[in-house]
Chains A and B, each alone.
Chain A
Amino acid sequence: MDIRFSGVSKIFYPDITALEDVYLEIPKGEFVYLVGPTGSGKTTLLRCITREVAPTRGQITVGSFSLRKISRVDLSVFRRDIGIIFQDFCLLPHLNVFENVAFVLEVLGAPSREVKERTGEILDQVNLWRRRFLYPPQLSGGEQQRVAVARAIVNSPSVLLADEPTGNLDLHTAEEIMQLIVSINALGTTVIMATHNQYLVDAYRQRVVGIKAGRVVRDEKRGRYNLDGEL
Chain B
Amino acid sequence: MGSFKYALRDGTRLILRHWGLAFLTVLTSMAVFYIIGASVLLVLNTRHIVNVLEGELSIQAYLAPNASYEEAAQLVAKIDHVTKVMIITQDMAMERLKARIPDWADVLTLLGDNPLPSSLEVWVDRADSVESVVMGLTAITQIKDIVYAGSLAEKLAKFSRFAGHFSLAMLVVAITASAVVLFNTIRIAVYSKEEEIGIMLMVGATPAFVAMPFVLQGVILGGAGSLGASVLLTFSYNGIIARLRELMPFLPFLERSSVVLHLGLILVGAGATVSLIASLVAVETFTRRAMKPL
| A interface list, Cβ under 8 A from B | 12, 47, 50-54, 72-73, 75-82, 84, 90, 92, 103-104, 106-112, 115, 151, 155
Bound form: Cα–Cα A173–B131 in Å: 94
Task: List A contacts of B205 (CB < 8 A).
Answer: 76, 107-108
Task: List B contacts of A76 (CB < 8 A).
Answer: 201, 204-207
* B2 close to A112 (CB less than 8 A): yes
* A52 close to B199 (CB less than 8 A): no
Task: List B contacts of A50 (CB < 8 A).
Answer: 202
Q: Would you list 19 pairs from A and B whose C-beta atoms are within 8 A, ordered by A residue?
A: A53-B294, A54-B294, A72-B207, A72-B291, A76-B201, A76-B206, A77-B204, A80-B204, A92-B195, A92-B196, A103-B200, A104-B203, A107-B204, A107-B205, A107-B209, A108-B205, A109-B2, A109-B3, A112-B5
Bound form: Cα–Cα A47–B293 in Å: 9
Task: List A contacts of B1 (CB < 8 A).
Answer: 111
Bound form: Cα–Cα A82–B199 in Å: 12
User: Do most interface residues of chain B lie in helix, strand or loop, or is the interface mixed?
Assistant: helix
Q: Which residue of A lies closest to B293 (CB)?
A: A54
Q: A76-B206, A111-B2, A112-B5 are in contact. Are A52 and B200 (CB under 8 A)?
A: no
Q: Which residue of B lies closest to A151 (CB)?
A: B203
Q: Which residue of A lies closest to B291 (CB)?
A: A72
Smallest CB–CB gap between A108 and chain B, Å? Answer: 6
Bound form: Cα–Cα A109–B6 in Å: 9
Smallest CB–CB gap between B100 and chain A, Å? Answer: 77
Interface residue total, chain B, C-beta cutoff 8 A: 22
Task: List B contacts of A79 (CB < 8 A).
Answer: 201-204
Within 268-293 of B, Cβ neighbours of A (below 8 Å) are at 288, 291, 293
Smallest CB–CB gap between B208 and chain A, Å? Answer: 9
Task: List B contacts of A151 (CB < 8 A).
Answer: 203
Q: A50-B202, A53-B293 are in contact. Are A107 and B6 (CB under 8 A)?
A: yes
Task: List A contacts of B293 (CB < 8 A).
Answer: 51-54
Within 1-26 of B, Cβ neighbours of A (below 8 Å) are at 1-3, 5-6
Bound form: Cα–Cα A73–B6 in Å: 20
Bound form: Cα–Cα A84–B201 in Å: 12
Bound form: Cα–Cα A204–B196 in Å: 34
Task: List A contacts of B6 (CB < 8 A).
Answer: 106-107
Q: A80-B203, A80-B204 are in contact. Are A12 and B2 (CB under 8 A)?
A: no
Smallest CB–CB gap between A228 and chain B, Å? Answer: 35
Task: List B contacts of A104 (CB < 8 A).
Answer: 203
Bound form: Cα–Cα A155–B200 in Å: 13
Bound form: Cα–Cα A52–B294 in Å: 6
Smallest CB–CB gap between A62 and chain B, Å? Answer: 13
Bound form: Cα–Cα A54–B5 in Å: 35
Besides the contacts A72-B207, A107-B200, what 11 more A-B pairs have beta carbons closer than 8 Å?
A: A51-B293, A53-B293, A72-B206, A73-B206, A76-B204, A79-B202, A84-B202, A103-B199, A109-B209, A110-B2, A115-B2
* A12 close to B203 (CB less than 8 A): no
Smallest CB–CB gap between B211 and chain A, Å? Answer: 12
Point out which of A47, A81, A106 has the most chain B C-beta atoms below 10 A from its C-beta.
A106
Q: Which residue of A lies closest to B205 (CB)?
A: A107
